[in-house]
Structure 1
Amino acid sequence: MVWLVEKDPDGAIVQFWKAINVGDRVDSALKDMAVVMKQQDRAEEAIEVIRAFRERCSKQAQESLDNVLIDLYKKCGKLEEQIELLKQKLRMIYQGEAFNGKPTKTARSHGRKFQVTVKQETSRILGNLGWAYLQLKNFAAAEAVYRKAQEIDPDANKACNLCICLVKQGRYEEANTVLEDVIEGRLVGSNDPKLINRTKELLQELEPWQLLQVHPTPNHGLINLEDAFIEGLDQLINQRTPLRSRRLPVFEEISTFRDQLAC
């Protein structure tokens, strides 16, 4: 099948359809078909296929399908759908349902297997959530999410994104402090060539501030709102007992962010 995907992706999709229709390894067939469709710029179609047939897949396959959907939403620019699914994955972690209840899971990257902890997965999801908010230009919400992700499992990539959030809010001094950790190589990934180039670009953005030492007027209302948001994230990550409410405080705070910043 790997050979068929590489040589004839349309033919591979036909074979995946056949497997799904006869109930043959539906889990892998649906996931692999969606991935091939994405490679062919048929992401919208892949989303509809997953939505239509995921009920035929096992419970163990749902998490993988969610990860594929997140990539497809990102590909299509469906930021609201991406955010909602990322929040759903955070709920699963909070409720102890991630990794099918296990503390770690086996992941693959470039043919290599490795173990991922719930802590690492939480930080990864928060990083993706922060990026989605960044694309929506909701810089305050993105900042709060990135800060929490960095508390859990810091790395240079998220630090650069946090720096962008701060620059967009005119908080250059804080942005410069965040970037120093990357420049000094104190974070995982600091030596990556792509990150080095990003760091240079961010330094160029900060250069006028470094010359003038401009200090923006604090937005106290935004800071207070941010504190409430972070408190909700703390409750999500640290509290073990599920809340009675169907909506966790962190998601209520996200809605509050969106409503108040839209005013």
Structure 2
Amino acid sequence: MEAGNSSKKSPGGHGENNLFHVIHKVPYGDGPYGRAKHAQLIQKDPEAAIVLFWKAINAGDRVDSALKDMAVVMKQVDRTEEAIEAIKSFRGRCSKQAQESLDNILIDLYKKCGKVEEQIELLKQRLRLIYQGEVFNGKPTKTARSHGKKFQVSVKQETSRILGNMGWAYMQKSNYLAAEVIFQKAQMIDPDANKACNLVQCFIKLARYDQARSVLNDVLRGTLPGSEDPKIKKRTEELLQELETLRSVLPPMINIPEALNLDEDFFAGIEKLMSEWSPMKSKRLPIFEEISSFRDQLAC
């Protein structure tokens, strides 16, 4: 049960007032949280909603929801830094069940304001929880919602999603070799067309055009989930055009020693996790052989 839930449902379930709450997804009660949601969803007044969410948190009124909703509204009105500080300051008042959602919101906030290092560190923390069996509160799946529809997410899918976000973060640091390794791992766990396109972008930046074309062909053949998405199709066409243009010019200079900046212990944890999912496979995955090959070249 969520901490500090002072809002109470109105008696009965068939009145006009109850129907209003159901249609507009506004909670019952006249506490600060209920008024905050009314300001957010009915009045469309984000600034007033933020003030009321603050009051709800301080009053202990549905603190889990109040903090998450306030951070989301702050992000919408470009108060991202404040939202980050709010989560850091008040997440200690929230239940254990709310921490995962708060982490996901925090990752999005870090992404929006360009805090790449903080984003990577938090993603690593999320993966460590998976290693420790603490993700989804110890359950093998969780119920997620997207565009009003509920669906089940497995631990494997969550691991791949987190790795995909981490790979994107390394791309923002122009560390394309690290990003490539991470995307490869993510695709081994739960492949999709979006991560494939990100992997192609890494290969292009590393002037590995044959590998880029091979992955692009998988997307073009429609063999990966998400290949039929119009946005993915458009991006695939753009990457194909970029690839064909670059094939006719000299490859870019790549600083391999600088790019090879990987947390070996951390990636060993991913390898261990994957070996538990696929015990019949080799304990040492091909991508790590590739890392060793780069290291041997540098040692020469």
Within a 5 Å distance, the mapping from 1:43-58 to structure 2 comes to 43-58=80-95
1:4 aligns with 2:39: yes
User: Equivalent residue for 2:126?
Assistant: 89
Measure how far apart 1:208 and its partner are.
3.2
What are structure 1's unaligned runs of at least 5 residues?
A: 241-253
Contact 1:94 1:237 (8 Å CA) reproduced = no
2:197 alignment partner AA? C
In structure 2, the partner of 1:167 is 204
Q: Give the alignment's TM-score, normalised by structure 1.
A: 0.83
Equivalent position SS for 2:145: strand
Aligned to 1:139: 176
Report what 2:102 is aligned to.
65
Distance in 2 of aligned mates of 1:222 and 1:166: 16
Q: Distance in 2 between matches of 1:217 and 1:17?
A: 51
1:184-230 Cα offsets, whole Å, 9 max, x none, are 11101111111111111111111135568x8999999899988x686
User: In 1, distance between residues paired with 2:169 and 2:247?
Assistant: 29
Aligned to 1:192: 229
Alignment RMSD = 2.9
Cα separation, 2, equivalents of 1:145 and 1:185? 22
Unpaired segments ≥5 residues, structure 2: 1-25, 27-36, 278-290
For residues 171 and 122 of structure 2, the distance between their equivalents in structure 1, rounded to whole angstroms, comes to 16
Distance 1:170 1:11 in 2: 51
* Percent identical: 67
Match of 2:11 in 1: none
Q: Helix, strand or coil for the counterpart of 2:52? A: helix
Select which of 64, 77, 82 maps to 1:40: 77
Q: Contact between 1:171 and 1:216, CA under 8 Å: does it hold in 2?
A: no
Query: Alignment length, in residue pairs?
Result: 241
Separation in 2, partners of 1:30, 1:82: 19
State which of 99, 113, 117 in structure 1 corresponds to 2:154. Answer: 117
Q: TM-score, normalised by structure 2?
A: 0.74
- CA displacement at 1:81 relative to structure 2: 0.2
Structure number with the higher helix fraction is: 1
d(CA) in 2 for partners of 1:11, 1:62:
25
CA distance in 2, matches of 1:119, 1:135: 25
Aligned-partner residue type, residue 5 of structure 1? Q
Task: Specify which structure has the bigger relative contact order, considering alpha-carbon pairs within 8 angstroms and separated by 6 or more residues.
Answer: 1
